[in-house]
Homo-oligomer: A and B are copies of this chain.
Amino acid sequence: MKYRFSARMGSFSSSAVRDILKLTQGNSIVSFAGGLPAEEHFPVKAISEAFQGVMEQGKKALQYGLTEGFLPLREALCKRMAAKGMNVTPDNMLIATGSQQVIDLLTRVIIDPGDVILVERPTYLSALQVFQSYGAVLVSVNGDSDGIDLDDLKAKLAQYKPKMLYVIPTFSNPTGKVWSEERRRGTLELCRNTDTLILEDDPYGELKFGDASKSYPSLFSLDQHPEGSCVVYTSTFSKTVAPGLRTGWALGDSEVIRQLARTKQAADLQSSSLDQQTLHYLLEHFDLDGHISRIRTEYESRMRVMADLLKQHDWRGAKWEEPKGGMFFWVELPEEVNTAELLKTAVELGVAFVPGFTFFADNPQMNAMRLNFSYNDAAVTATGMERLNKALSGVLV
């Protein structure tokens, strides 16, 4: 049998990086590569109790449910969203199998082959893969520590007439940066004037460090009205409760949500009823904000451990900023360092990271790396950073 695959499978280039990182699974390599939350802080007891509560309510929890998502969960999430200035009804919301699925479904709903999507440079690797698999043309927009460059955005909106702009304004993956409010408002205005849909990806917004009262308004909240909004917002329980429950959500105009639901019905009918009902019970009976506050404190302390080690090792020519939230450090090394090459040495020495070039849609930067600080505890992080230092000592002579 000769298998004949679709043309789009060619867009999933075999990833040398993924192959190397696969080697790191299940052995003694310290991994700063993944974007994994800290398992020891999962609310296991609360999830157990929620599940039992759901099962006591009856067999309906195991039946097929609505494609749009379990209505009481959507209602409870509306309340949480309202507290963040996003005034939505359940008709503005779709529950999905993680926010990754929202990225996939929205791309299907909006993009025809050849359509342009603007993205930040750098940005989330797996979003780039989704966009490419639907034949989108990707163009990256410059940015600085305050967020996307509005002049470059304006020029590229005019030049490429994109259908969509994909952004992570709060605690970016991979850089950990936060956009200023001016950049947020400027982006909204430019996109609204050109009928460009914004996909705002916000997996990390709840994981903020420092002053708890400081808030970074989402683009969706600044757009004020969900109906007619030029923003589709997505977030997830993967970083605040647990990724294994695979539950994220999209917010947007009800017309866009209806199209997402049609697409989702074809894709998988619906996400797990049991996970959705368990999360609904959790929202009603568990102090999720208290829990989030505890993991914020823990992640901030893990971030600080890695920051101290970065200072201590003081690699020649390395540049990095302390993230204000999220899960990642973005470290730029001197231009002559190729981090894809460095990864091979690092894995031999027992430590892994993601080379920066994978996060670029075009003109990749070869001398950067993304380091996750949320997954490992202080002792493991110290061991890993020691090994990384050894790997770097060979190239930073």
In the assembled complex, how far is the CB of residue A213 from the closest CB belonging to chain B, in whole angstroms?
30
- Whether the pair A262, B4 counts as a contact (CB closer than 8 A) is no
- Whether the pair B47, A268 counts as a contact (CB closer than 8 A) is no
- Does A111 lie at the interface of the complex (its beta carbon under 8 Å from any beta carbon of B)? yes
- Whether the pair A6, B112 counts as a contact (CB closer than 8 A) is yes
Among A36, A40, A267, the one with the most B-chain Cβ atoms within 10 Å of its Cβ is: A267
- Whether the pair A245, B274 counts as a contact (CB closer than 8 A) is yes
- Which residue of B130, B255, B271 contacts A97 across the interface (Cβ within 8 Å)? B271
Q: Given A5-B109, A228-B1, A253-B1, does the pair A48, B59 have CB atoms closer than 8 Å?
A: no
In the assembled complex, how far is the CB of residue A59 from the closest CB belonging to chain B, in whole angstroms?
4
- Whether the pair B42, A48 counts as a contact (CB closer than 8 A) is no
In angstroms, Cα B2 to Cα A197, docked, is 9
- Does A306 lie at the interface of the complex (its beta carbon under 8 Å from any beta carbon of B)? no
> What chain B residues lie within 8 Å of A197 (beta carbons)?
1, 3-4
Contact with B along A256-279 (1 / 0, CB 8 A): 100100110111111111110010
Quickly give the copy total for this chain: 2
- Whether the pair A59, B36 counts as a contact (CB closer than 8 A) is no
In angstroms, Cα B9 to Cα A268, docked, is 17
Binds B, one of A98-106, A148-156, A297-305, A334-342: A98-106
In angstroms, Cα B192 to Cα A63, docked, is 38
- Whether the pair A255, B109 counts as a contact (CB closer than 8 A) is no
- Whether the pair A244, B39 counts as a contact (CB closer than 8 A) is no
> What chain B residues lie within 8 Å of A93 (beta carbons)?
none
> What chain B residues lie within 8 Å of A98 (beta carbons)?
268-269
Contact with B along A1-31 (1 / 0, CB 8 A): 1111111110010000000000000000000
Q: Given A100-B268, A246-B271, A255-B3, does the pair A39, B55 have CB atoms closer than 8 Å?
A: no
- Whether the pair B52, A104 counts as a contact (CB closer than 8 A) is no
- Whether the pair A64, B244 counts as a contact (CB closer than 8 A) is yes
> What chain B residues lie within 8 Å of A109 (beta carbons)?
5-6, 9
Interface size of A by CB at 8 A reads: 76
> What chain B residues lie within 8 Å of A12 (beta carbons)?
259, 262-263, 266
> What chain B residues lie within 8 Å of A64 (beta carbons)?
34, 36, 238, 243-244
- Whether the pair A268, B36 counts as a contact (CB closer than 8 A) is no
- Whether the pair B272, A246 counts as a contact (CB closer than 8 A) is yes
- Whether the pair A192, B111 counts as a contact (CB closer than 8 A) is no
In the assembled complex, how far is the CB of residue A201 from the closest CB belonging to chain B, in whole angstroms?
14
- Which residue of B9, B48, B245, B266 contacts A130 across the interface (Cβ within 8 Å)? B266
- Whether the pair A253, B110 counts as a contact (CB closer than 8 A) is no
In angstroms, Cα B108 to Cα A361, docked, is 22
Among A238, A243, A255, the one with the most B-chain Cβ atoms within 10 Å of its Cβ is: A243
> What chain B residues lie within 8 Å of A278 (beta carbons)?
274
- Whether the pair A272, B255 counts as a contact (CB closer than 8 A) is no
- Whether the pair B5, A259 counts as a contact (CB closer than 8 A) is yes
Closest to A4 in B: B163
What are 12 pairs between A and B in contact, CB < 8 Å? A9-B109, A36-B63, A36-B64, A48-B55, A64-B243, A98-B269, A126-B266, A245-B273, A267-B267, A268-B268, A272-B272, A272-B274
